[in-house]
Amino acid sequence: MKRKIIPSEIPTSELHQLLVSTVAPRPIAFVSTIDEEGNANLAPYSFFNVFSSNPPIMIFSSNRKVSDNTTKDTLHNAEATKEVVVNIVNHDIVRQMAVTSSPFASDVSEFEKAGLTPVQSDLVKPFRVKESSVNFECKVNEIITLGNHGGAGNLIVCEVVKIHASEHIFDEKGRVVPEKLDIVGRMGRAFYSRAKNGVFRIFQAMKKPSIGYDQLPEIAKSSTILTGNELGELAGLFELPTKEVLSNIAKNKSVITAIDAENSIEEIEKLARKLINEGKFEMALAVLVYADEELS
């Protein structure tokens, strides 16, 4: 037996989740744009694919929000400048990508908030994401509006004018190796799919801005041990630790031992990684903030 569903008879939010949960996994267009004043923007879109090879055409949809019918900065910038860069999301940057889905103000750079590196493009003004394995510089050919109500899409038709692809994703014959690209696809709710080993979850609430990479303590940002995804878990939190939390951290035996060690910074970073891997993100951030203050 199959459930019979008429789209017009269920709430848009419920229909949206049904669509994105069943048409999956979807590739993610990690789109960088720039506004008229030069402010950089970076946002992920999973209503995305390639639709033509000659000419090379990609289309992604910047939908109106179901909750309040507003549009995103990406759409405004694409309309204004007619240029975008589509960056591929490889697993190494997936958690940082999730941070950029927070509702930051228009003049806030998601590059900075996610701890990603903007690189000047060759043929278009928007920056490329250095950490992405493949970048597509694109000119916007057309924007097709599908409606004016919450959930309605705006199809941004892009023509690829230059491609930047990391050497490590190719084999000796010049063919892309899926496991080396290690691309991530979007599914419904908090689910994602990874080329190497299937489905996993990322929880990133989008009701308010997260603290961002720029608010992390220096010991975290300069770490040689913590990965971009691990730092992304911390950047995705909504607040820095309170004085009360830091006071409790100061009494933690593991923290005291790490700070007193000869290689204290490395030991603190290892302790933070352990806590992150255990899902104790707030505590990991508190350890790093406390240690940064003690060791500086």
Q: How far apart are CA 134 and CA 166, in angstroms?
A: 6
Please identify which residue in the block is written with the tokens 């989008």: 206
User: Given this model, what pLDDT does residue 200 score?
Assistant: 66
pLDDT band at 67 (very low <50, low <70, confident <90, very high): confident
> Is residue 32 located within the same domain as residue 64?
yes
Q: pTM of the prediction?
A: 0.82
Task: Give the Cα-Cα-Cα angle 274, 278, 279 (nearest 5 degrees).
Answer: 120
Q: How far apart are CA 181 and CA 195, in angstroms?
A: 8
Boundary of a domain, candidates 150, 170, 201: 201
What's the mean pLDDT when you consider all of the chain?
Answer: 94
- Residue 206's nearest CA partner among 27, 107, 67, 74 is 67
pLDDT band at 44 (very low <50, low <70, confident <90, very high): very high
> Is residue 250 located within the same domain as residue 160?
no
In-domain check, residue 282: yes
Q: Is residue 89 a contact partner of residue 132, using CB atoms and an 8 Å limit?
A: yes
> Is residue 183 located within the same domain as residue 226?
no
User: Given this model, what pLDDT does residue 33 score?
Assistant: 98
In-domain check, residue 208: no
User: Given this model, what pLDDT does residue 206 score?
Assistant: 67
> Is residue 217 located within the same domain as residue 117?
no
In-domain check, residue 53: yes
In-domain check, residue 2: no
Number of domains in the chain: 2
Q: How far apart are CA 140 and CA 29, in angstroms?
A: 14
> Is residue 95 located within the same domain as residue 74?
yes
Helix segments in the chain, DSSP class H: 12-22, 73-81, 94-99, 110-114, 178-181, 218-221, 228-235, 243-249, 253-260, 264-277, 281-295
> What value does the mean pLDDT take over residues 187-208?
79
Is the bond leading into 55 cis (omega within 30 degrees of zero)? yes
> Is residue 160 located within the same domain as residue 281?
no
Residue 196 has pLDDT above 90, yes or no: no
> Within 10 A of 249 (CB to CB), how many other CB atoms are there?
21
Boundary of a domain, candidates 159, 177, 201: 201
pLDDT digits (tens, 9 = 90+) for 205-222: 667 899 999 999 999 999
> Is residue 122 located within the same domain as residue 162?
yes
> Is residue 121 located within the same domain as residue 192?
yes
> Is residue 228 located within the same domain as residue 186?
no
> What value does the mean pLDDT take over residues 124-133?
98
Q: Is the dihedral of CA 143, 145, 148, 149 positive or negative?
A: negative
Q: What is the extent of the structural domain holding 39? A: 7-201
> Is residue 72 located within the same domain as residue 42?
yes
User: Given this model, what pLDDT does residue 66 score?
Assistant: 82
Residue 244 has pLDDT above 80, yes or no: yes
> What value does the mean pLDDT take over residues 196-203?
71
> Is residue 189 located within the same domain as residue 99?
yes
CATH code, domain carrying 73: 2.30.110.10
Residue 199 has pLDDT above 70, yes or no: no
Which residues lie below 8 Å from residue 103, measured CB to CB, with a gap of 6+?
Answer: 206, 207, 208, 209
More confident call, 258 vs 196: 258
In-domain check, residue 44: yes
